[in-house]
Amino acid sequence: MNSTQSASDGTGWVDKLDDAATLAMLVSAIGAQQTKLAASSHTGLSGQVDRAQHQKQLLGAFGTIRIADDIPEAARLGPFAKHPATYRIACRISNGQPCPQADTASDVRGIALKFFTEEGVETDLLLTNEGGRSHARNAVQFMAVADIIVALLAEGTVSGIAQGLREMMMAKLGPVEGARILAVLLKETKVHHVDSVATEHYWGSVVQLGQAAIKYSLHPHPSTSAGTNAERHGDNYLRADIFNRLEQGPVKWQLGVQFFVDEATTPVNDASIAWKSDVMMIGEIELDTPPSADDEARIDRLAFNPANGFAPLGITHARQDVYAASAANRKGRGVMSSDEARAMLGAH
């Protein structure tokens, strides 16, 4: 697949797809990970198959997404076609590991948002705070790292990003890529301390908006206070912090988009490189009140998919199939259908 117009409007990219055998391997690998995690007595999952990634919900809350009036011409498509616009969102904030861990453990943090557009299109934004890139170049690498972390967690290693990781990474990914991935994980999940999920920057992986390749991102609103509003060392300090902030007033992030320029500056086919094009702010996300226990339970049952609302590109193709498989495999713990999510968000 490719787009052949000029590069300044996000076009001109060439998309290299994984073949069907690779996609099938990834779908089967995620299922094997979920089964292994559920079966282990060390993961705290009590035998229940759960999300294969981002299992611990730090916050599940309702709020709004506002698309601004004056957004760039090239962004006025798909979920951002109507502008200005305001939609109700369900927001799930999570730690990255596939089983519960203390918030003080080294980890990636994620935000998943679901809304239904004016045209009724189910749209999901999924983002992590890994600095605008993944540790993995592609889905096969991502799955190889996940396999190692799952093996360590299932064996009862204290943290997934721990001692055995180095040797296993070198053996499975080779010394160059193994060292590169470890360095990214160390930088983004350990050296980088998260005071609050409200003060983090988050990025999605590449998707198609019209003919453009884009990445969307969330950035703390200028009104966001620095630091931690909770006891810093508690196992659930990130959850306590965001609850305390919501007790005091709204928590907001600005919504940004970046456009593809060329494969060197803004790669579609290598997820491990942060895009260097400008981030243009096109809207805002707002959470205004602490959620009820019932809100949180419902949001924890949602299934998000980065291909909802956008055509996938690059690593997002594999993510489309793998998220659907992960959600199907965890049906036993309760997964909300798209129709139920639509009704919950009061959309048509």
The binding site for ligand HEM (CB under 6 A) comprises: 26, 30, 51-54, 92, 94, 110-112, 126-128, 134, 139, 142-143, 204-205, 271, 303-304, 315, 318-319, 322-323, 326-327, 330
Distances (CA, A) of 36 to 6, 156, 198, 206: 47, 12, 33, 30
Residue with tokens 């997404």: 65
Smallest distance from ligand HEM to CB 326, Å: 3
Between 182 and 299, name the residue whose CB sits nearer to ligand HEM. Answer: 299
Between 97 and 199, name the residue whose CB sits nearer to ligand HEM. Answer: 97
Of 134, 258, 120, 108, nearest in space to 192 by CA? 108
Between 204 and 291, name the residue whose CB sits nearer to ligand HEM. Answer: 204
Q: Nearest residue to ligand HEM, using CB? A: 110
Smallest distance from ligand HEM to CB 306, Å: 7
Smallest distance from ligand HEM to CB 330, Å: 6
Between 199 and 316, name the residue whose CB sits nearer to ligand HEM. Answer: 316
Smallest distance from ligand HEM to CB 325, Å: 7
Distance CA 337, CA 345 (A): 12
Q: Which residues contact 102 (CB under 8 A, 6 or more apart)?
A: 235, 236
Angle at 96 between CA 80 and CA 158, to 5 degrees: 175
Of 322, 330, 325, 336, nearest in space to 47 by CA? 330
Distance CA 286, CA 218 (A): 11
Smallest distance from ligand HEM to CB 43, Å: 15
Between 23 and 240, name the residue whose CB sits nearer to ligand HEM. Answer: 23
In 81-191, DSSP assigns E strands to 85-95, 109-116, 122-128
